[in-house]
Amino acid sequence: MNSTGIVGFGAYVPPYRIKTEEIARVWGEEPQRIVKGLGVQEKSVPGLDEDAASLAVEAARNALSVARLDGSRVQAVYVGSESHPYAVKPTATMVAEAIGATPEVMAADLEFACKAGTAGLQIGMGLVASNMAEYVLAIGSDTSQGRPGDALEYTAAAGAAAFLVGRQKEQIVAKLEQTCSFTTDTPDFWRRQHAEFPSHGGRFTGEPAYFRHVMGATQALFEKTGMKASDFDYFVFHQPNGKFPLEAAKKMEIDVEKVKPGLLTPIIGNTYSAASPLGLCAVLDIAKPGQNICLTSFGSGAGSDAFWLQTTDLLPKARVRATHNLAWYVGRKQYLDYAMYAKYRRKLKSL
């Protein structure tokens, strides 16, 4: 495969937060039991004027600043989400227009639960490696909803991460060395057309869904590349809660300390399509040149995409060019109580 790499990356997390204990209070659950059980202290909540499209645009603009690239140079835009604002009408056209990439640009929306963002990254690698495009923008963006009172309500959060894939050596901050996927038809989580909230298979979401696919893809990547767990400096796994990624690491005999820097769910919740991509942003914000990163996403339904990335000498100088980095978004926050949260997420039928 011709070499490709990330030339720019950008994050976005909305400014609002709700604490796990505040949600537990409303539903009469024991707060500390939920916090401990899920490993999530608080989650991000989008404002009334935010959705997957607006989140994607801000992440994309940060990625362009890191790459010092004008939006008109982007030749393809893919937006992965399970909360596209429209059922029919693409999010990618809005993003492409907002960054000035239109009209000569390939664009499409992707859907694969929480791994639609990394699916875009794979498409980007393919287009760039085959010289079909010079720069491809791949975004994972979600403003996810859980049914009030459902276990998912404690974690369903909002965020976006954007990656610019390119091939110029003078621009690559992290080489995309290899990728592979592990996909089966597994009914662990779904949302039917017109349904407001998703349904899920409860405990079934663990072993046959998350662990089988995350571990299957990660081990397939090891075999394909000849890399071992000890060859990687960081692992970023999809993070539906604060515990699954650490358990997956233990099962694969990976040092959990290599997972923690890219584990954001405990403080921002599960950002779905943006979850493992934001984890990668967190790692790219601290990694040294020449370090190896393994990124494995997971999308219900079900599948995982695994990537081997290697950072370059250009990373430290590039990352400070973001208008705002992930730490800035994570650090600014305004807490909501459940009543305000219900209003912001329009959980009341009359809104």
Partner 1 sequence: MTENIAITWRRIPERYRLAGSQCTSCKTKFFPPRKLCPDCRRKGKIESCGFSGKGKIYSFSEVHSAPAGLELEIPYVLAIVQLEEGPKLTAQVADCHGCDVQVGAPVEAVFRKIRSDDPEGLLHYGYKFRLVK
Residue 137 CB, nearest approach to partner 1 (Å): 15
User: Which residues face 235 on adjacent strands?
Assistant: 294
Report the chain's terminal Cα–Cα distance, integer Å.
51
C-alpha 246/C-alpha 232 separation (Å) is: 16
Residue 276 CB, nearest approach to partner 1 (Å): 24
C-alpha 134/C-alpha 244 separation (Å) is: 36
Rule CB under 8 A: say whether 141 interacts with partner 1: no
Rule CB under 8 A: say whether 85 interacts with partner 1: yes
**Positive or negative torsion for Cα 326, 327, 332, 338:** positive
For the question of residue 114 being annotated catalytic, the response is yes
Phi, psi of 86 (to 5 degrees): -110, 150
Rule CB under 8 A: say whether 48 interacts with partner 1: yes
Q: How many residues bind partner 1 (CB under 8 A)?
A: 23
- Span 332-351, contacts to partner 1 by CB under 8 A: 334, 343, 351
Rule CB under 8 A: say whether 100 interacts with partner 1: yes
Work out the angle at residue 151's Cα, subtended by the Cα atoms of residues 30 and 37, and round it to the nearest 5 degrees: 55
Q: Which is nearer to partner 1, 106 or 340 (CB)?
A: 340
Residue 30 CB, nearest approach to partner 1 (Å): 32
Collapsing DSSP states into helix, strand and coil, what is residue 160?
strand
Collapsing DSSP states into helix, strand and coil, what is residue 9?
strand
C-alpha 204/C-alpha 182 separation (Å) is: 18
For the question of residue 200 being annotated catalytic, the response is no
Q: Per-residue x/- marks for partner 1, 16-35, CB under 8 A?
A: --------------------
For the question of residue 194 being annotated catalytic, the response is no
Residue 255 CB, nearest approach to partner 1 (Å): 37
Which of 29, 97, 150, 247 forms a contact with partner 1 (CB under 8 A)?
97
Rule CB under 8 A: say whether 99 interacts with partner 1: yes
Give yes or no for a contact between 176 and 200, defined as CB atoms under 8 angstroms apart.
Answer: no
Measure Cα distances from 123 to 29, 63, 254, 290, 294 in Å.
Answer: 43, 17, 28, 25, 18
Q: Per-residue x/- marks for partner 1, 292-331, CB under 8 A?
A: -------------------------------x--------
Residues that bind partner 1 (CB under 8 A): 15, 47-51, 53-54, 57-58, 61, 71, 85-86, 94, 97-100, 323, 334, 343, 351
